[in-house]
Structure 1
């Protein structure tokens, strides 16, 4: 009896040790496949010094298919040129018809089929690197490594200066000609000066901004001197297809690093856009990482936002025809608009007697309404230049120059009918058109937005036009049974040559 108790105790202790070993390892091992962190429902485990991972997680990520025969307890993994046959519990798998030996067999753990990572990855012609200190495993394919190697030098980090200091949030860019860098709109917006940083740490000065496209989040910047870095090729892509793969170049100090992105789906917002996402943790320190296809063509950018519910958003590269003529131009012939300048060169007329660019004292002199509130950089009036049913708000920049103004109709909303609201909208639109011309965007019917019905007219300046953004809006606030009419002006600065 005593001996039996000892044997039972030893057996239990052995099971506890094995169980503890497996789960301890599961909590510390992280697997990356072609730069992308893998999230498995059954974490990796170790047995006899070998790391096991879920079979579908590793095989499908490497482009292989998996066939599981439940009755025979066998697994077949296939990709072009390779067929792997494994049986649960067997240490003798077959690769392309040839038997081989492994230390740890495929097995079932918590309902998941687990296989030796290194054996499967190397059989599928991928390389495996293990960092024993950090417990990080990196699995990479030859094709992935070659795409990264051929393109990482073309990927740069864009630094801009704002308010006399380097902005703390740089973004990514790519060399598209010896003289030009394609980057994000946000990387160039409000830049008072700029430079790019190459993957080797060298910095090159930017001469100025050639053009900007806020809708597509793109900007074109000119280098002060041509570079010898080979430019990227590019392929405009109207949309991504589910399952489509691309290699994003993630810039980091001391060199760039690639991450393979697989598009897993899209979300369409009516009248706005379709956004594409990959189910993966957010892995990009800097927004705008360029995405290359298998032929090294630039096809998209990692979007500015990510990490929500382990989704990384990506956007296709739009048509660049309007900028293509710049790519073949001689350096000296490419003209820029310099850098950001906050103040208008001259006062900008509005549909009232006030102009953007006026000083606070000038506004106080011309605005004859009742002053409701005054702060160091803002004024609010009732019974203003538009009449007794309006509130006016005037905002000033740090130099106390008027750069934002809005007028809100404060008549008894509950007594205004939809017809009256539409007539007021048409009258204001006509008055605004007399000053600013035809609006670039116009809603001809009511649109439902965020619980409200609304109509808008928008006057939007082109890049570097010294004109204000003007918005006319009428909102039917359904839940409050009220209408709101507003005219909004805003001047966001312009770009001027510094030489």
Structure 2
């Protein structure tokens, strides 16, 4: 379905940027939603962005992935038999039959048993990672530090990868390629070329400079930032009015820079509004570790992809806990919107601040961003 550009950027003026100067949870509260922290899936160096249902970690710490999209990326044919709740899969000489609700699958007529069941969620069939490795014949690794699944189906001795297993490209580069330590094969130039947030004229620094000059920008620290951003997005972008309570506020607040406890009051006011306005939201935030920017005012921005869908609300107003939420735009219900955004992170620690960055108090998905309507879901 073609995408409709609905909004490009929204800039904050210098006076508002000055306000920014005043500026790890284990999981998500059951009061928020059932969706856990967003899980990234990288196959052969390319990140997979699923069109709707996303990979997740269940209550038993098992990682489940939507089988159709993963299998099709592996050149397999995937069907669906609604009468028997089975998923037939063909890959090369392998004939696979998967049954929803069962921990067993048939592979060329032989039974294979897993440690958890295939499940149906949001009209998609999810299977454990072990299914991908043992049945579809791929090598699978799990990186708990960044909640990322790595699936390898082929070896490429010539290709170059970054520290996060992402394939690096050297052709068709963005205009500002020199701003970054490298360019990823699965990231469009549009994401790289998005203009930077409002910045100090001389003290701002691009990603290539930050990586070259600051020892804090090492994988160990950046993994912590990415984990916090994913958890922040998992709370912020998953809202359910019927079960909402102040536990959701505590979860969101835990991911943010806590200069004092005053912000928690405003988050709780949003919780009250969610219940009053009957708001239901689902989505995710997926940060890119090589795309970091310093604005010179004390903020480190991590460029991220985000997706969001609003399935319920009475009044199209303040649908997210976001000071810069675009109330002037009428979001459609049951439609996915996606875009790129710079999320501000900050710290009140000097010296070795690498492990301390958290989401800034006034961070916004709509401060410096693009957003597009993807299409209706059924």
Higher strand share: 1
Higher alpha-carbon Rg: 1
What TM-score range do you get, normalising by the shorter chain? 0.3 to 0.5
Q: TM-score, normalised by structure 2?
A: 0.36
Larger RCO, structures 1/2 (Cα 8 Å, 6+ apart):
2
Q: TM-score, normalised by structure 1?
A: 0.28
